[in-house]
A and B are shown apart, each in its own frame.
Chain A
Amino acid sequence: MTGMEWYLPLIWAAIIGIAVMMYVILDGFDLGIGILFPFTRKEEERDLMMNSVAPFWDGNETWLVLGGGGLWVAFPKAYAIIMPAFYLPVIGMLLALVLRGVSFEFRWVAKPRHQLWDFAFAAGSIAAAFLQGIILGGLLQGVEVANGQYAGGPFDWLTPFSVFAGVAVVGGYALLGATWLNMRTEGPVKSLGRRFTPPLLGFVLLAMAVISLWTPLSLPRVADRWFSTPNIFYLWPVPVAVALITYVIWQSLRRGAEFLPFAGTIALFILGYAGLVISNVPYLVPPVLTFWDAAASPASQIFFLMGTIFLLPLVLGYTVFVYWVFRGKIAPGEGYH
Chain B
Amino acid sequence: MEFDPVLLARIQFAFTISFHIIFPAFTIGLSAYIAVLLLTWLKTKNDKYHRLARFWTKIFAVSFAMGVVSGIVLTYQFGTNWSRFSEFSGNVIGPLIGYEVLTAFYLEATFLGILLFGWNRFPNWLLALAAVLVAIGTATSAFWILSANSWMQTPAGHEIRDGIAYPVDWLQVIFNPSFPYRLAHMLNAAYLTTAAVVLAVGARYLLGRRFVEESRTMLRMAVGMIAISAPLQLFIGDLHGLNTLEHQPVKVAAMEGHWDEAKGSAFVLFGIPDQEVRENHYEIAIPGLGGLILTHEWNGRYAGLEQFPSDEWPPVANVFFTFRLMVGIGLFLILIGFWGAWLWWRGQLFTSRLYLLTSSYVWPLGFIAILAGWFVTEQGRQPWLVYGHLRTIDGISPVPAASVLGTLALFVFIYGIIFAMGIYYINRLIERGLSPEAREPSEGLPNRPLSAAEEATREALGRGPGTSGYSAQEMKP
Contact = CB atoms under 8 A, between A and B. Distances in A.
Interface of A: 44, 47-48, 51, 54-55, 58-59, 61-62, 64-66, 68-70, 72-74, 76-77, 79-84, 87-88, 90-92, 94-95, 97-99, 101-102, 104-106, 108-109, 111-112, 148-151, 153-154, 296-297, 299-300, 303-304, 307-308, 311-312, 314-315, 318, 322, 324-337
Interface of B: 62, 65-66, 68-73, 75-80, 83-84, 86-87, 90-92, 94-95, 97-99, 101-103, 105-106, 109-110, 113, 117, 166-167, 170, 397-400, 402-403, 406-407, 410-411, 414-415, 418, 421-422, 425, 428, 441, 443-451, 453-454, 465-466, 468-473, 475-477
Nearest to B170: A303
A44 B471 CA distance: 12
A138 B106 CA distance: 31
Contact of B83 (A55, A81, A108): A81
- In this complex, which of B70, B170, B421, B477 has the most chain A Cβ atoms within 10 angstroms of its Cβ? B421
A66 B76 contact: no
A98 B70 contact: yes
Contact of A73 (B68, B98, B450, B477): B98
10 contacts: A58-B68, A62-B101, A69-B75, A69-B98, A150-B83, A153-B400, A318-B106, A324-B466, A325-B466, A333-B476
Given A72-B98, A106-B421, 15 more contacts: A61-B72, A62-B106, A69-B97, A70-B98, A72-B79, A72-B86, A73-B94, A84-B79, A87-B399, A88-B406, A296-B94, A297-B166, A307-B102, A326-B466, A330-B469
A83 B9 CA distance: 14
A73 B95 contact: yes
A330 B475 contact: yes
Contacts of A151: 398
Nearest to B441: A337
B102 A308 contact: yes
Given A69-B97, A105-B65, A330 B470 contact: yes
A101 B65 contact: yes
Given A65-B72, A95-B411, A149-B83, A88 B98 contact: no
A109 B73 CA distance: 24
A334 B144 CA distance: 47
Contact of B476 (A102, A300, A337): A337
Contacts of A297: 91, 166-167
A76 B94 contact: yes
Contacts of B92: 300
A78 to B, nearest CB: 10
A170 to B, nearest CB: 21
Contacts of A109: 425, 428, 447-450
Contact of A326 (B91, B414, B465, B477): B465
- In this complex, which of A66, A109, A151 has the most chain B Cβ atoms within 10 angstroms of its Cβ? A109
- The list of the 6 closest CB pairs from A to B, nearest first, reads A76-B90, A83-B79, A108-B448, A328-B469, A333-B472, A333-B473
Contact of B95 (A55, A300, A337): A300
Given A318-B110, A337-B444, A68 B76 contact: yes
A149 B84 contact: yes
B62 A105 contact: yes
A91 B407 contact: yes
A303 B172 CA distance: 14
Contacts, number: 253
B43 to A, nearest CB: 29
B91 A76 contact: yes
A319 B384 CA distance: 41
A90 B453 contact: no
B99 A307 contact: yes
Nearest to B103: A311
A334 B473 CA distance: 7
Contact of A300 (B80, B94, B407, B472): B94
A229 B195 CA distance: 70
Contacts of B87: 76-77, 79-80, 148
A284 to B, nearest CB: 14
A79 B90 CA distance: 9
B203 to A, nearest CB: 25
A88 B407 contact: yes
A58 B109 contact: yes
B72 A94 contact: yes
A300 B402 CA distance: 35
A79 B466 contact: no
A83 B105 contact: no
Given A101-B65, A106-B425, A328-B468, A303 B72 contact: no
A332 B167 contact: no
A314 B472 contact: no
Nearest to B111: A318
A227 B123 CA distance: 61
Contacts of B473: 331, 333-336
A312 to B, nearest CB: 7
B407 to A, nearest CB: 5
- In this complex, which of B95, B167, B418, B473 has the most chain A Cβ atoms within 10 angstroms of its Cβ? B95
Contacts of A108: 446, 448, 450, 453, 476-477
Contacts of B471: 330-331, 333
A331 B101 CA distance: 35
Contacts of A77: 87, 90
B399 A51 contact: no
B408 to A, nearest CB: 10
B391 to A, nearest CB: 16
A44 B15 CA distance: 38
A330 B403 contact: no
A149 B398 contact: yes
Given A297-B167, A300-B94, A307-B103, A76 B62 contact: no
A312 B399 contact: no
Contacts of B80: 83-84, 87, 90-91
A333 B446 CA distance: 16
Contact of A98 (B78, B117, B398, B418): B418
Contact of A72 (B72, B94, B410, B443): B94
Contacts of B421: 102, 106
A47 B446 CA distance: 14
A54 B410 contact: no
Contacts of B77: 91
B465 A303 contact: no
Given A72-B86, A83-B76, A303 B475 contact: no
Contacts of B450: 105, 108-109
